[in-house]
A and B are shown apart, each in its own frame.
Chain A
Amino acid sequence: MLSRTADHLYWMSRYIERAENLARMLEVNYRMSLLPHDAQIVERGWAATLTIIGLLDAFRHRYQTVTPANAIAFMAFDRDNPGSIYSCLRQARENARAVRGTLTSETWEMLNSTWLEMRVTALRPGDEIANFFEWVKDRSHLARGVVQGTMLCDEAWHFIWLGTFLERADSTSRILDVKYHLLLPHGEQAGGSADYYQWSALLHSVSAFEIYRRVYRDLITPRRVAELLVLRDDMPRSLRSCVSRVYGHLTAVRNAQSGETERRAGELQASLHFGRIEDIFALGLHEYLVQFLGRIRDLGERVARDFLVSATD
């Protein structure tokens, strides 16, 4: 398969997954802002989210104050913000358009109509912002479903999933890290009621609230939330699950120069497989997540170098 084609497929799925995770992060903040908090805490929540996705500076450039309305306008609908949901869906569609011949027509039509609807919605965002977040998640579910249900499981398919799971690993670790940023400045007493809502909101944002209840049948504790989202193999958005899938798809597309990338992915997978939550907490969850993000970024760069670069010899 053409390197350029693989590149477009990989980025197509990364952007869809990114749009979904943005919607999840915004949604959890939006829910939090509906709870009886004072304005400062609400502001801190949004600022933390902007920090974690690296857009706080760009935001401050455009807006004076951090309000839910500003943050949503910026991260959901702003066409000049390359990190907004709007821009992600446009990028997903543009990448798909560049390789539409490689996609099934169902896949292409699904992404194209998502973009067409996004454009209409951005003109009249409306009050039902929660519906918008639901819609973004639905379209992302649909995108994965149509790929799963219609595409040949060939190289193209592997690159699509490689992009999906690298992006998801990145997002889940950021979502988990929001909690760190949120609590750091004030060090609120763990176990308080605000804390409970924050951890449960976090679980909701990765569709893990019900799963947590089923798995632990117990109180929500930070350690267990982290264990669920980092180490559990059967949790579809956990770091371990994502890295296992990344490793699997990497081995399926291996070429003459991808050996080291495969080894590093395998090493990371093994560390998650045999890792203990006690050790992670001993290191510090934030420190662990920072390291993890670095390794995911390294894998992304190595994938680009090994498979996707076509402009130079």
Chain B
Amino acid sequence: MVETRAYDEMHGTAGDVREHYRAFADWLANTPRDRLTQKRAEADSLFHRVGITFAVYGEEAGTERLIPFDIVPRIIPAQEWRQLAAGVRQRVRALNAFIADIYHEQEILAAGRVPPEQVLCNQAYRPEMQGIDVPGGIYAHIAGIDVVRAGRGEFYVLEDNLRVPSGVSYMLEDRRMMMRLFPELFARHSIAPVEHYPDLLLENLRSVAPAGLTDPTVVLLTPGANNSAYFEHAFLAQQMGIELVEGQDLFVDDEYLYMRTTQGPQRVDVIYRRIDDDFLDPLVFRPDSLLGVPGLLAAYRAGRVTIANAIGTGVADDKSIYPYVPEMVRFYLGEEPLLANVPTYVLRRKPDLEYTLANLAELVVKEVHGAGGYGMLVGPAATREQLTAFRARILSAPERYIAQPTLALSSCPTFVESGLAPRHIDLRPFVLSGRDITLVPGGLTRVALRAGSLVVNSSQGGGTKDTWVLE
């Protein structure tokens, strides 16, 4: 089984408690179980009352669910965090340089370091962006880098999220919940705060406004209250004190963007958009989109408005591009990557395809354009029938898949029905790029609640934990 080899975040191989978990383990041992049970119930009812829910697609319209919250925190020692933070910063710098290059000179393609067809024939590549200069040359203003830990405790980047990464509201709400439920823990530990994330985000968005504006107006563009991440959109807009707008609230006139207010039209300078490229402007992208703003791209091209993240960032976080990110670090920064990639087989390549088909039961296979844990195969957990079916799917369109070895994701003790048990986790730090690169210590820890499961996505029954970086 997979979990027998997993790195345990709390315990060493001999069952001893790791140094950075000691104070917490003491507290846990000395806290009566019924108090913990009662606090867990309290957390559930608080999340419900506050309405920290997400909508689930494919279920009855308007269904809202809680993302399960676990009260055992994921703790990261200071030294480990410094290395991780340096690694994700470096990665995001390289990714931004890559996107800028792709939409201008395309030097990395000319140098033969990334195959041009991989980029230029990619669905996420946006020819409309070619030659557009964006403020500061920044494209991925908000990046979520998914990091996992394998068998011996080494970190890998599993995925880069450069389009509209979500989850930061859970990072903030989980912290608030822990402080509300267990204030005594915060007195015992020196835990780096994360509450200033919305301030950093607003500052970051203001720093990339079109040049010459002293007091730019920033708005958050949401698809609306039925979107699965609506809670987060409303939460962030409120925390930043900016308007939460829908496409119908905005219009473009003479290449300037305005919002409709009770006092007439008001100029908008920066859009923090939480809708996909395809829906942004029906005049350029999907003509049936009701979520976007006709003429937005024209205003964008004219440099009258900043869109964050920029259009076309998907060209750098696609799973078929992922294998080349270490190469981007070397090419643009002249540095060696601080964080490793998971070895990846690209099934459009014949040898990789052959190896994958021969070893399907040991591998994780992902759709190149998939997200949210949909359409993936976890070989070791799959039945014979599932393997056969997936093999057929791969053979019908190998270019749509990549494969990776099944990593023994690290585990962390988690409350489940039978009590405390190890469950696999990952980590998504949020990296903000503008005038500077900033990130709050930690990020969102997601946990796979089913025993042995490696899929942490909330849409697949994953939960979250508070993430502590010790100071």
Chain A residues proximal to chain B, CB less than 8 Å: 1-6, 94, 97-102, 105, 108-109, 112-113, 116, 155, 159, 253, 255-256, 307-308, 310-311, 313
CB distance from A54 to the nearest CB of B (A): 27
**Are A255 and B263 neighbours in the complex by a CB distance under 8 Å?**
yes
Given known contacts A101-B234, A101-B235, A256-B264, is B51 in contact with A5 (CB within 8 Å)?
A: no
CB distance from B133 to the nearest CB of A (A): 30
Within 8 Å by CB of A255, from B245, B259, B264, lies B264
CB distance from A135 to the nearest CB of B (A): 17
**Are A4 and B248 neighbours in the complex by a CB distance under 8 Å?**
yes
Within 8 Å by CB of B49, from A6, A100, A113, A155, lies A113
**Are B49 and A116 neighbours in the complex by a CB distance under 8 Å?**
yes
CB distance from B172 to the nearest CB of A (A): 13
Q: Does B50 contact A (CB under 8 A)?
A: yes
Task: Name the 10 nearest CB pairs between A and B, nearest first.
Answer: A101-B238, A101-B234, A101-B237, A310-B260, A307-B262, A100-B234, A112-B51, A3-B260, A98-B225, A6-B262
Given known contacts A98-B225, A101-B238, is B249 in contact with A3 (CB within 8 Å)?
A: yes
Given known contacts A100-B238, A112-B51, is B264 in contact with A310 (CB within 8 Å)?
A: no
Across the two chains, which residue of chain A brings its CB closest to B48? Answer: A116
What is the bound-complex CA distance between A260 and B238, given in angstroms?
Answer: 34
Within 8 Å by CB of A105, from B50, B224, B237, lies B50
Residues of B within 8 A of A113 (CB): 49
Q: What 4 additional pairs, Cβ within 8 angstroms, besides A3-B249, A109-B50?
A: A1-B263, A2-B260, A100-B238, A255-B262
Across the two chains, which residue of chain B brings its CB closest to A109? Answer: B49
**Are A101 and B262 neighbours in the complex by a CB distance under 8 Å?**
no
Q: Does B244 contact A (CB under 8 A)?
A: yes
Residues of B within 8 A of A100 (CB): 51, 234, 238
**Are B260 and A108 neighbours in the complex by a CB distance under 8 Å?**
no
Q: Does B243 contact A (CB under 8 A)?
A: yes
* 18 examples of A-B residue contacts, CB within 8 angstroms: A1-B262, A2-B245, A3-B260, A5-B243, A97-B225, A99-B244, A101-B235, A102-B238, A108-B50, A112-B50, A116-B48, A116-B49, A159-B262, A255-B263, A310-B248, A310-B249, A310-B260, A311-B248
CB distance from B462 to the nearest CB of A (A): 24
What is the bound-complex CA distance between A310 and B258, given in angstroms?
Answer: 12
Q: Does B214 contact A (CB under 8 A)?
A: no
**Are B264 and A4 neighbours in the complex by a CB distance under 8 Å?**
no
What is the bound-complex CA distance between A159 and B263, given in angstroms?
Answer: 13
What is the bound-complex CA distance between A3 and B238, given in angstroms?
Answer: 17
What is the bound-complex CA distance between A311 and B260, given in angstroms?
Answer: 9
Residues of A within 8 A of B237 (CB): 101
What is the bound-complex CA distance between A3 and B245, given in angstroms?
Answer: 10
Across the two chains, which residue of chain B brings its CB closest to A4? Answer: B249
Residues of B within 8 A of A313 (CB): 251
What is the bound-complex CA distance between A108 and B52, given in angstroms?
Answer: 12
What is the bound-complex CA distance between A246 and B51, given in angstroms?
Answer: 32
How many chain B residues have a CB neighbour from A under 8 Å?
24
Across the two chains, which residue of chain A brings its CB closest to B235? Answer: A101
Residues of B within 8 A of A256 (CB): 264
What is the bound-complex CA distance between A97 and B244, given in angstroms?
Answer: 12
Residues of A within 8 A of B248 (CB): 4, 310-311
Kindly identify, within residues 231 to 268 of chain B, every residue whose CB is under 8 Å from any CB belonging to chain A.
Answer: 234-235, 237-238, 243-246, 248-249, 251, 259-264
**Are A108 and B249 neighbours in the complex by a CB distance under 8 Å?**
no
What is the bound-complex CA distance between A256 and B249, given in angstroms?
Answer: 19
Within 8 Å by CB of B262, from A94, A108, A253, lies A253
Residues of B within 8 A of A99 (CB): 234, 244
Across the two chains, which residue of chain A brings its CB closest to B240? Answer: A101
What is the bound-complex CA distance between A3 and B234, given in angstroms?
Answer: 17
User: Which of A100, A307, A313 has the most C-beta atoms of chain B within 10 angstroms of its own C-beta?
Assistant: A100
Within 8 Å by CB of A3, from B51, B235, B262, lies B262
What is the bound-complex CA distance between A310 and B264, given in angstroms?
Answer: 10
Residues of B within 8 A of A4 (CB): 246, 248-249, 260
CB distance from A166 to the nearest CB of B (A): 16
Chain B, 16-48, contact with A by CB distance < 8 Å: what is the 0/1 string? Answer: 000000000000000000000000000000001
Across the two chains, which residue of chain B brings its CB closest to A110? Answer: B49
Residues of B within 8 A of A310 (CB): 248-249, 260
Across the two chains, which residue of chain B brings its CB closest to A101? Answer: B238
What is the bound-complex CA distance between A99 and B48, given in angstroms?
Answer: 18
User: Which of B50, B243, B246, B261 has the most C-beta atoms of chain A within 10 angstroms of its own C-beta?
Assistant: B261
CB distance from B185 to the nearest CB of A (A): 23
Residues of A within 8 A of B262 (CB): 1-3, 6, 155, 159, 253, 255, 307-308
CB distance from A232 to the nearest CB of B (A): 32
What is the bound-complex CA distance between A64 and B111, given in angstroms?
Answer: 82
What is the bound-complex CA distance between A255 and B225, given in angstroms?
Answer: 28
**Are A2 and B50 neighbours in the complex by a CB distance under 8 Å?**
no
What is the bound-complex CA distance between A42 and B225, given in angstroms?
Answer: 43
Across the two chains, which residue of chain B brings its CB closest to A96? Answer: B51
Residues of A within 8 A of B225 (CB): 94, 97-98
Across the two chains, which residue of chain B brings its CB closest to A6? Answer: B262
What is the bound-complex CA distance between A99 and B245, given in angstroms?
Answer: 10
CB distance from B34 to the nearest CB of A (A): 25
What is the bound-complex CA distance between A102 and B48, given in angstroms?
Answer: 19
What is the bound-complex CA distance between A256 and B262, given in angstroms?
Answer: 10
User: Which of B50, B51, B238, B259 has the most C-beta atoms of chain A within 10 angstroms of its own C-beta?
Assistant: B51
Residues of B within 8 A of A98 (CB): 224-225
CB distance from B104 to the nearest CB of A (A): 36
Within 8 Å by CB of A108, from B51, B224, B230, lies B51
CB distance from B24 to the nearest CB of A (A): 29
Residues of A within 8 A of B49 (CB): 109, 112-113, 116
